[in-house]
């Protein structure tokens, strides 16, 4: 029973559910086709677009499976169109092969994953257990996906815009990694206008070979040298993405002894825990990667030089933990506060866990 | 200031709508607010709830273990959420369907006949609006006017004809409690 009577006037603040916000942002970004299959907790994205895309004369297909959906997206984006799919955890697992192909073929696929609990079918409550699935990937071969992690409904809008832009700018698949909490909650947000320039796809898109030689996009590479070069090129491209697009937020890190790190909607909880711990006299800061891939390794390494302890807070068994640990590279202590899924770690739980960690690491000295 | 609310009742009593209206009212008041529903295999006749957090700064966590205010429209919800109210917090119950018991002595109890108020206006369907009126007068951090504006905004053009009756229920709920105290 959500309020769908709101008008998406650009500057108006509207109370809107994360899933609807993502769907409307996709429309604003110029998404010309959506392909998907329902799954909680992201079904409202497809529900919303099933009506709107038809009204706008754009494409909407409720595919027979997630596997079909993402392959349809590959087909659509290979023509230079903006297209997307959305799904959740266990069904995103079905799309991994296609993500490998889309990376090899340099296709600007946009995928929104509204995470639920796994492994296996799991259940519909929120979780952050697909960090590895998004960042490391389950497809074959060497490839990298750009991964954006929103923490508010406003960021669901902003990063949907960014996902479409980055996908086309770099001809690389982009995943927006949200969670059931963000998908289901409502929060005031503003749509604004799609803030990015349109990307010229005319040099590679399959648009019919009228008045030009034909093109083909495929990943089969029987020529060993060419295949080797292709992978080098893909990774060179990702170096550029790392250089240009790595993004993060930091809060009160200047004087911090301890830095709490989280991604996605857990960011709000660590910021609130930071305030409580600061009031208790502890010098605590927060660091939050926005791009999970490329990961802000360099920045964390820099912060690690002046900090005593990194503490990673996440709703999984420590998936981002290993990337932070890798970035810290032995310079500081590093600990994990986590729960596998379900009810988000509360501010009080985070505060008391931090205190226990400090007691363990520094006895009475802190 | 950060306060949170749990609204709960039977599926069909309009709990999620009441929560949406309340969250819109906070937004119209210029506050930061989040609305989070229980979601999944819920069904008509089962219990349903949503959680609203309102804050002057960014909402810290959207889904909390305990609550400042619980607004419960049926007995099951009272039984389920009475233990989720913070010490010193308030449970506001629809006495038409909830027995007046006080199982804890560290929280406040408000019993108001929200269902009866709605029935006296001709339909139990506006119990949720009467409940919002009671809630507004109890918590004092959202005005009746803001809830009225939110109600008009949420029901919108399509359900315009339902607005006067719901506003009436809202006012009766609001005034009912003033008469009691």
3-state helix/strand/coil string of chain A: CCCCCCCCCCCCCEEEEHHHHHHHHHHHCCCCEEEECCCCCCHHHHHHHHHHHHHCCCEEEECCCHHHHHHHHHHHHCCCCCEEEEECHHHHHHHHHHHHHHHHCCCCCEEEEEEEECCCCCEEEECCCCHHHHHCCCCCCCCCCEEECCCCHHHHHHHHHHHHHHHHHHCCCEEEEEEHHHHHCEEEECCCCCCCCCCCCCCCCCCCCCCCCCCCCCCCCCCHHHHHHHHHHHHHHHHHHHHHHCCEEEECCCCCCEEEECCCCHHHHHHHHHHHHHHCCCCEEEEEECEEECCCHHHHHHHHCCCCEEEEEECCCCHHHHHHHHHHCCCCEEEEEECCCCCCCCHHHHHHHHHHHHHHHHCCCC
User: How do beta strands A248-251 and B47-55 pair?
Assistant: unpaired
**Residue A90 pLDDT > 50, yes or no?**
yes
Query: Which residues on B lie below 8 Å from A9 (Cβ)?
Result: none
Q: Is residue A40 part of a domain?
A: yes
Is the pLDDT score of A3 beyond 50?
no
Four-point Cα dihedral B151, B153, B154, B158, nearest 10: 110
Question: Quick one: which H or E segment has residue B27?
Answer: helix B15-28
**One domain for residues A238 and A277:** no
- Provide the CATH number for the domain around residue A285: 3.40.50.920
Q: Are residues A239 and A276 in the same domain?
A: no
Q: Find chain B residues with C-beta within 8 A of A185's C-beta.
A: 34-36, 62
Q: For residue B87, give how far its alpha carbon lies from the nearest alpha carbon of chain A (Å).
A: 15
Decide if B39 and A180 are in contact by the 8 Å CB cutoff.
yes
Examine the predicted complex and report whether its ipTM is higher than 0.90: yes
Assess whether A156 and A134 both reside in one domain. Answer: yes
**Block residue for tokens 């590679």:** A204
Instruction: Identify whether A67 is part of a domain.
Output: yes
> Please, which pLDDT band fits residue B89 given cuts at 50, 70 and 90?
very high
pLDDT of residue A365: 53
Interatomic CA distance for residues A44 and B178, integer angstroms = 41
Once rounded to an integer, what is the mean pLDDT over residues A34-50? 97
Q: Are A27 and A146 part of one and the same domain?
A: yes
Whether residue A41 is preceded by a cis peptide bond, meaning omega within 30 degrees of 0, is yes
Contact criterion met (CB below 8 Å) for A37 and A91: yes
Is residue A1 situated within a structural domain?
no
State the smallest CA–CA distance between residue B31 and chain A in angstroms: 9
Interface of B with A (CB under 8 A): 14, 16-17, 20, 23-24, 27, 32-37, 39-40, 58-65, 153-158
pLDDT score of B42? 64
Quick one: what percent of chain B has pLDDT higher than 70? 94
Q: Which three-class secondary structure state does DSSP give residue B14?
A: coil
CB atoms within 10 A of CB A268: 22
Cβ-defined contact of B60 to A271 (cutoff 8 Å): yes
Judging contacts by C-beta atoms under 8 Å, the chain B residues touching residue A186 are 20, 23, 34-36
Does B17 contact A180 at a Cβ distance shorter than 8 Å? no
Closest CA to A315 of A125, A184, A156, A162: A125
Residues of chain B positioned with their CB less than 8 A from the CB of A348: 65
Can you give the pLDDT at residue B41?
Answer: 67
As a whole number, mean pLDDT of residues A356-366 equals 82
Residue A66 lies in a domain: yes
If asked whether residues A109 and A52 sit together in one domain, one would say yes
Residue A22: inside a domain, yes or no? yes
CB pairs under 8 A between A and B: 78
Residue A6 domain flag: no
> Which pLDDT does position B46 carry in this prediction?
81
CATH number of the domain residue A238 falls in: 3.40.50.970
Same domain, A299 and A239: no
- Angstroms from B155 CA to nearest CA on chain A: 8
Query: Contacts of residue B158 in chain A, CB cutoff 8 Å?
Result: 5
- For the cut 50, the answer to whether the pLDDT of residue A4 exceeds it is no
Residues in B closer than 8 angstroms to A181, CB to CB, are 36, 62-63
Residue A33 makes CB contacts below 8 A (sequence gap 6+) with A53, A58, A59, A60, A61, A72, A73, A76, A81, A83, A84
Contact B20 A41 (CB under 8 A): no
Query: Is the pLDDT score of A158 beyond 50?
Result: yes
Contact A188 B33 (CB under 8 A): yes
Mean per-residue pLDDT for B117-145? 95
Predicted local distance difference test score (pLDDT) of residue B38: 87
Chain B: closest CA distance from residue A348 (Å): 10
What mean pLDDT, rounded, does chain A reach?
A: 95
What pLDDT does residue B47 have? Answer: 86
Question: pLDDT exceeding 90 applies to what percent of chain B?
Answer: 85
First to last CA, chain A: 49
Q: What pLDDT is attached to residue A215? A: 96
Token look-up 């902003």 returns A158
Place of tokens 């590895």: A132
Domain that holds residue A351: 249-362
Average pLDDT over all residues of chain B: 93
- Would you call B111 helix, strand, or coil by DSSP? strand
d(CA A350, nearest CA chain B) in Å: 11
Q: C-alpha distances in angstroms, A188 versus A205, B18, B31, B136, B148?
A: 38, 17, 9, 21, 18
Residues in chain B closer than 8 A to A343 (CB atoms): 63, 65
Is the model's pLDDT at B44 over the cut of 80? no
CA–CA min distance A187, chain B (Å): 5
Mean pLDDT of the A315-336 span: 97
User: What is the rounded average pLDDT of the residues A20-25?
Assistant: 98
Residues of B in contact with A277 (CB under 8 A): none
B27 and A15: CB-CB below 8 Å? yes
The pair phi, psi for residue A112, each rounded to 5°, is -105, 125
State which of A213, A243, A273 marks the end of a domain: A243
**pLDDT for A297 beyond 50:** yes
pLDDT value, residue A323: 98
pLDDT value of position B176? 85
Tokens of A353: 């866990």
Stretch A216-234: mean pLDDT: 95
At residue B179, the pLDDT reads 52
- Across the interface, of A187, A343, A347, the residue whose CB is closest to B33 is A187
Of chain A, the percentage scoring pLDDT greater than 70 comes to 97
> Is the model more confident about B39 or about A316?
A316
Pair B117, B165: CB distance under 8 Å: no
Domains and their CATH numbers in chain B: 2-180 (3.40.920.10)
| Chain A residues with beta carbon closer than 8 angstroms to that of B65 | 343, 346, 348
Q: What is the pLDDT of residue A2?
A: 44
Query: Residue B45's pLDDT band (boundaries 50, 70, 90)?
Result: confident
Phi and psi angles of residue A39, each rounded to the nearest 5 degrees, phi first: -160, 135
Q: Report CB contact under 8 Å: A3, B154.
A: yes
Domains identified in chain A, total number: 2
The reply to whether A43 and A112 lie within a common domain is yes
């Amino acid at each position: 029973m959500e309020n769908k009577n709101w008008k998406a006037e650009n500057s108006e603040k509207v109370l809107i559910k994360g899933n609807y916000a993502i769907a409307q942002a996709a429309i604003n970004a110029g998404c010309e086709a959506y392909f998907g299959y329902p799954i909680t907790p992201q079904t409202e994205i497809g529900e919303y677009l099933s009506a709107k895309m038809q009204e706008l004369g754009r494409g909407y297909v409720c595919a027979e499976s997630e596997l079909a959906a993402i392959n349809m997206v590959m087909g659509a984006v290979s023509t230079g169109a903006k297209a997307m799919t959305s799904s959740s955890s266990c069904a995103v697992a079905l799309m991994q092969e296609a993500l490998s192909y889309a990376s090899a073929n340099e296709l600007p696929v946009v995928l929104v994953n509204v995470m639920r609990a796994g492994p296996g079918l799991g259940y519909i409550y929120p979780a952050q257990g697909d960090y590895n699935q998004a960042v490391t990937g389950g497809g074959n071969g060497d490839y990298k996906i750009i991964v954006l992690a929103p923490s508010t409904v406003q960021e669901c809008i902003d990063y949907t815009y960014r996902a479409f832009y980055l996908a086309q700018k770099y001809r690389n698949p982009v995943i927006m990694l949200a969670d059931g909490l963000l998908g289901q909650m409502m929060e005031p947000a503003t749509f604004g206008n799609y803030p990015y320039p349109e990307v010229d796809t005319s040099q590679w898109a399959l648009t019919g070979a009228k008045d030009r030689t034909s093109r083909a996009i495929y990943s089969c590479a029987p020529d060993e040298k060419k295949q080797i070069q292709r992978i080098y090129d893909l990774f060179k491209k990702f170096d550029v993405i790392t250089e240009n697009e790595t993004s993060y937020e930091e809060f009160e890190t200047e004087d911090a002894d301890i830095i709490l790190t989280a991604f996605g909607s857990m960011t709000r909880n660590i910021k609130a825990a930071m305030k409580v711990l600061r009031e208790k006299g502890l010098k605590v800061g927060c660091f939050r990667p926005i791009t999970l891939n490329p990961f802000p390794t360099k920045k964390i390494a820099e912060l690690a030089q002046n900090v005593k302890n990194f503490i990673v807070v996440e709703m999984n068994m420590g998936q981002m933990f290993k990337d932070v640990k890798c970035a810290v590279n032995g310079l500081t202590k590093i600990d994990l506060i986590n729960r596998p899924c379900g009810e988000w770690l509360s501010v009080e739980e985070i505060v008391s866990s931090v205190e226990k960690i400090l007691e363990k690491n520094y006895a009475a000295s802190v | 200031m950060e306060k949170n609310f749990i609204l709960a009742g039977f599926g069909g009593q309009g709990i999620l709508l009441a929560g949406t209206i309340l969250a819109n009212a906070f937004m119209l008041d210029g506050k930061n607010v989040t609305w989070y529903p229980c979601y999944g295999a819920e069904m008509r006749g089962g219990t349903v709830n949503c959680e609203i957090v309102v804050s002057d700064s960014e909402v810290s966590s959207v889904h909390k273990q305990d609550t400042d205010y619980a607004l419960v429209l049926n007995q099951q919800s009272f039984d389920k959420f009475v233990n989720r109210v913070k010490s010193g917090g308030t449970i506001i119950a629809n006495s038409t369907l909830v027995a007046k018991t006080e199982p804890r002595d560290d929280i406040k109890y408000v019993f108001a006949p929200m269902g009866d108020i709605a029935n006296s206006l001709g339909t139990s369907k506006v119990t949720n609006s009467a409940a919002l009126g009671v809630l507004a007068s109890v918590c004092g951090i959202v005005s009746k006017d803001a809830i009225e504006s939110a109600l008009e905004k949420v029901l919108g053009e399509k359900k315009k004809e339902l607005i006067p009756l719901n506003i009436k229920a809202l006012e009766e709920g609001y005034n009912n409690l003033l008469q009691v105290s």
